[in-house]
């Protein structure tokens, strides 16, 4: 039994040993970090393959998803007509539209959509339609018209049926324009997401 007021010898011995380790004194003194981190020699082999390389793949915003965005592209078609002046003539022009959230989570709606000739004064029309995110299909058509080109002397309408690639964020497919005279202009279109 320890007498009251007497120092505890075991506490002093323990403190001295601790101080020796921290101060670097004493015959068995070691650095504190040496007890935590093992020393690795030059021959250490963790079983890692030195030939392994990591490549970081750059992705587009929204890649792999069916979500809202701005799309821009173009269409081309060749007129089939009973009138020699029109038959075989080619038409082309830009397509732009925004895809916005629709009434359901599985579909996006076209907003601010438009197709026209390259200058926008020969023919132009608004686009409306939906992108089915489950089927990855675009169904779109024109609304209204503006016509001044002699190759299209009467009101026209156009339809677009395309496939959506969620990796490249591209919608492409069949395009067809027709007018009241029976002229048909079948072709293709493609529109890409613009960040």
User: Over the chain, what is the mean pLDDT?
Assistant: 77
Provide the percentage of residues in the chain whose pLDDT is more than 90: 39
Tokens of 128: 């409306």
pLDDT at 65 (0 to 100): 83
The pLDDT value given to residue 195: 85
* Domain ranges, ordered by start, for the chain: 69-194
What pLDDT was estimated at residue 84? 87
pLDDT of residue 118: 83
What pLDDT, on a 0 to 100 scale, did the predictor assign at position 113? 94
Residue 47 per-residue DSSP state: S
State the pLDDT confidence band at 19, using cuts at 50, 70 and 90: low
| CATH 1.20.140.10 corresponds to the domain 69-194 | no
Does 37 have pLDDT greater than 80?
Answer: no
Place of tokens 């438009």: 114
Going through the chain in order, the beta strands assigned E by DSSP cover 69-78, 90-101, 107-116, 123-132, 137-147, 156-165, 170-179, 184-194
Who wins on pLDDT, 138 or 157? 138
pLDDT tens-digit readout, 39-66: 555 565 667 777 777 665 455 555 568 9
User: Can you give the pLDDT at residue 107?
Assistant: 94
d(CA 142, CA 189): 14
């Amino acid at each position: 039994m320890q007498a009251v007021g007497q120092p505890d010898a075991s506490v002093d011995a323990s403190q001295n040993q601790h101080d020796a380790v921290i101060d670097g004194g004493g015959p068995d003194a070691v650095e504190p970090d040496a007890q935590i981190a093992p020393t690795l020699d030059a021959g250490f082999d963790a079983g890692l393959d030195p030939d392994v390389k990591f490549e970081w793949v750059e992705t587009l915003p929204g890649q792999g998803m069916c979500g809202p965005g701005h799309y821009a592209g173009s269409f081309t078609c060749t007129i089939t007509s009973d009138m020699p002046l029109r038959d075989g003539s080619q038409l082309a022009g830009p397509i732009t539209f925004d895809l916005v959230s629709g009434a359901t989570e599985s579909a996006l709606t076209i907003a601010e959509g438009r197709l026209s000739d390259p200058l926008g004064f020969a023919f132009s029309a608004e686009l409306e339609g939906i992108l089915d995110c489950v089927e990855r299909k675009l169904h779109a058509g024109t609304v209204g018209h503006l016509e001044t080109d002699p190759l299209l002397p009467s009101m026209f309408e156009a339809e677009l049926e395309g496939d959506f690639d969620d990796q490249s964020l591209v919608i492409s497919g069949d395009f067809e324009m027709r007018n009241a005279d029976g002229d048909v202009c079948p072709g293709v279109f493609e529109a890409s997401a613009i960040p």
